[in-house]
Structure 1
Amino acid sequence: MAIPPPPGPQQPEGQYPPPGMPQGTPQGTPPGPYPPPYPQGAYAQGQYPQGPYPQGPYQQQPFQQPYQPWGSGYSPYNRPVPVNGLAISALVLGVLCFLPGVGLLLGILALVQIKKRGERGKGMAVGGMVLSSLGMVLALLAVATGGAGEFWDDFKDAARDSGGSAFSLVKGDCFDVPGGSLEGMTYDVDKVPCAGEHQGEVFANFEMSEGDYPGDSTVTDTADDKCYTLQDAYAMDTWAVPDDVDLYYFTPTRQSWRMGDREITCVFGNVDAETSLTGSLREDGTTLDPDQLAYLEAAHVLNAAMDSAPATEYVEDDLPGHQKWATRVSDALTEQAGMLRGHTFAPDAAEPVATLVKDLEAAQKEWAKAAESEDVDTFYVHYEKGLDLTDPEKTVTTREALGLATTPPTYGTDDGSVDDGGDGTGQEV
């Protein structure tokens, strides 16, 4: 009798071919001429079949399996279901708390699309909706409690402190400007050491008052006036400032003003764009010794009075104005002499300073007489004597003893006084 083979991986248990059908022939195979089964023991020695089942032409028929074969709509690797793009956007906006209303709306739309399309990302959409909802609640609380206004103020302060105003340059910084010009518009600067070559050196910063943007001309005029006033506090020894150095400034633009920028930065720069500055021009309490500082502080009292001369060039055109000016100069000379007498200078400088004080006191008397003159001629007589006694050349010996610059500038009318010399130049930032 024929013994059926045991169940194998391709033939489930209990599904054997009926009697008379060759083994290995699937059920449902249409009848046909099949060779008779081999009788038991009909194999000669060494003649065994190549497998556990008899082989014959019927095995060329395809074997019907209970599973669908590959290549008929089935892939050996599962293709992942795509993630919904709106779900991703909703989660990103929720995490960033940016436009929370939009994040909430995108999350709702994402859930609708996921349900229709069978896509993934439901957790992202729900997470984005939750975070966006929290963001909306916090935004409403900020508005209700005034926190939004405080945030905007802090933002404006940050913009002012972190580059919205003249690139965070502070007094004493040296820098180069891309393009090499300190005039026009600029958006960036490169800080460099002051010991080497540089195009600009910051000597002062100040803030303009709040309010609407006052206009380009007002901003420029404010920068021009105040920067000239502030230069002496940084470069106290004006004789040490080269003649080819002028004042420049960075000012806010209309656009940066809206972001809270109110700062004007005053800068020393060379009048020749092709020439750089070398070394720092700083001469103040951080670099001067006590004797130098005392001398320059006294000299600046006279400088300020000299700089307050009337706009009219000739005395005959405004005698009263010149008389008031002479009074200011006379008072300044009195104060300057008192400051020098009140300071104890080193022995090497004490005698030259004492000689200078005598000249200043003599000059004070002449300027006082010019202030009291009743006519233009009398004014000129005393004015010229007083001006001669305050000639910068008379201070060279004292300056040399103090270790200060000894070459008078080509501009100016007295010891260190600086003529305005016209308008300065600036850049908008």
Structure 2
Amino acid sequence: MPGPYGPYGTSAVPYGMPPAPQPATSGLAVASLVSGIVCCLPPLGLVLGLIALPRIKKRQQRGKGLAVTGIALSAVSSLLMGLGFVTGAFSDFWSGVRDGVEEASKSPSSLIIGDCFRTDVESKAYVDEADAVPCHRPHEGEVTGIFEVTEFGAWPGAGAIDRVAEKRCEEFNKTYAMDAWALPESAGLYYLAPVEESWKGGDRTVICALATDEPLAESMRTDEATLDSEQVYYLRTMNPVDERLLMEPDADADEDLEANKEWAGTVHLAITGAVGRLHEHDWDSPADSRAASLAKELDAAARTWHKLATAKDEDAFWDAYDEAFEALAPENEVDVRSALGLHSVPPEGYSDSDSGNGGDGGGEKV
């Protein structure tokens, strides 16, 4: 009698003896089956199956059933393909596939940062497609940033989405278009945001953009990807001054003197910060002498803005107001910008707090 650890059953193999080798499965049979199933390969599956059958018998392989199934599927599929070509159904099928791919490529969700696209900036209608085009072709919009809305669980309402989009997109636009002088006068903030219906389907994406009401044929991008280090340094030096100027209170000094003095103080700090950065940077010639001249002019401007910030009353504030703005005339920057290869023509109304970066753009719904 065998011991307690001996083989059990008539098919058990004694310890130390290898099991009998199993016949291999025909690779051609497998390929025939797969080809019979996969679209556009039925004829190949039919050929492979017919080749596989005699080889399986000769080599005593497994896979006869696979080959027979592959032949059958391939024959049926080949017949259907033939009918499809004759009736035009196959052409219609691929046309539908192609149209579907094209429609998907027009979906706003297919846009990426730097894409230019056609759009109607005046429309407030639901946007379900965006036609991306090369930036050297006419376009109204350019993607500056993309983010997911994470502040809310349930649908918060269009107003809440707009507030989030405007704040975040304004920052994206400033980073993407650092040189406000290079922007078209009509350029403004634009975005594609979820509506209630798409929100329920899981859409949380906001696509930020700069847009114009007149088609452009060039990119509005001026960031670290398109500028050199000297240009970036200069813009990071001067942009804070422009940003503080844009923060002038709606109420004038006669209505709220303290708010206006506080604003003037922030402009003064931005100017003094710019003077320090201009002096401490090792500029390449010929920008070095021109940057030094600008720093001297800004130093004088800082004193006038200090007068605004410390005005004892409304009359003193208004007495220094025009002088302060004249001291920050955009023309003071032209020589440095020219030396650095930046846009050197001040935009219209630039000194009147209208840089065009951010603007009064409205949001579109997607």
Q: Do Structure 1 and Structure 2 share a fold, with TM-score over 0.5?
A: yes
How far apart, CA to CA, are the structure 1 residues paired with 2:258 and 2:358?
Answer: 22
Task: Check conservation: 1:192, 1:198, Cα contact below 8 A.
Answer: yes
2:305 and 2:275 map into 1 onto residues whose CA distance is 14
Distance 1:250 1:267 in 2: 8
The alignment of Structure 1 onto Structure 2 pairs a total of residues equal to: 262
- Structure having the higher helix fraction is 2
Change (3 A) 1:270 1:419: closer
Tell me, which stretches of 5 or more residues in structure 2 are unaligned?
Answer: 1-103
Shift of 1:416: 8.3
Correspondence 1:353 to 2:294 = no
Letter in 2 for 1:199: E
User: Does the Cα contact within 8 Å between 2:304 and 2:323 map onto a contact in 1?
Assistant: yes
Q: 2-side partners of 1:315 and 1:256: how far apart?
A: 46
Task: Find the counterpart in structure 1 of residue 42 from structure 2.
Answer: none
Q: Are 2:194 and 1:252 equivalent residues in the alignment?
A: yes
CA contact (8 A) 1:307 1:419 kept: no
TM-score of the superposed pair, with normalisation by structure 1: 0.57
TM-score, length basis structure 2: 0.66
1:326 corresponding residue in structure 2: 264
Indicate whether 1:233 and 2:150 are aligned: no
Correspondence 1:289 to 2:228: yes
Match of 1:315, SS state, is: coil
Rounded Cα–Cα distance in structure 2 between residues aligned with 1:251 and 1:171: 15
3-state secondary structure, aligned to 2:258: helix
DSSP 3-state at the match of 2:168? helix
2:277 is paired with a residue of what secondary structure?
A: helix
**1:298-332 deviation per Cα after TM superposition (whole angstroms, max 9, x unaligned):** 111112211221121x2111100001001101111
Letter matched to residue 404 of structure 1: L
- CA distance in 2 between partners of 1:193 and 1:420 (Å): 23
Change (3 A) 1:182 1:174: farther
1:183 Cα deviation (Å)? 4.0
Within 5 Å, give how 1:103-114 maps onto structure 2: none
RMSD: 2.5
Quick one: distance in 2 between partners of 1:364 and 1:181?
41
Query: Is residue 298 of structure 1 aligned with residue 237 of structure 2?
Result: yes
Q: Which amino acid aligns with 2:292?
A: A
> Structure 1 unaligned runs (5+)?
1-161
SS at match of 2:298: helix
Query: Structure 1 pair 390/243, CA: closer, same or farther in 2 (3 Å)?
Result: same
Task: Show the 5 A alignment for 1:41-56.
Answer: none
SS at match of 1:184: coil
Alignment of 1:186-265 (within 5 A): 186-208=127-149, 209-265=151-207
Which of these residues, 249, 273, 277, is aligned with residue 335 of structure 1?
273
Output the CA distance in 2 between the equivalents of 1:366 and 1:249: 39
Shift of 1:180: 8.7
State the alpha-carbon separation in 1 of the partners of residues 354 and 236 from structure 2. 11
Contact persistence 1:238–1:416 (CA under 8 A):
no
Is 1:428–2:365 an aligned residue pair?
yes
Answer whether contact 1:285 1:293 (CA < 8 A) is retained. yes
Alignment of 1:405-416 (within 5 A): 405-413=343-351
* Residue of structure 2 equivalent to 1:70: none
Q: Percent identity?
A: 35
Partner in structure 2 of residue 401 of structure 1 = 339
Q: Which residue of 2 aligns with 1:362?
A: 300
Paired amino acid for 1:271 = D
Contact kept? 1:166, 1:251, Cα under 8 Å: no
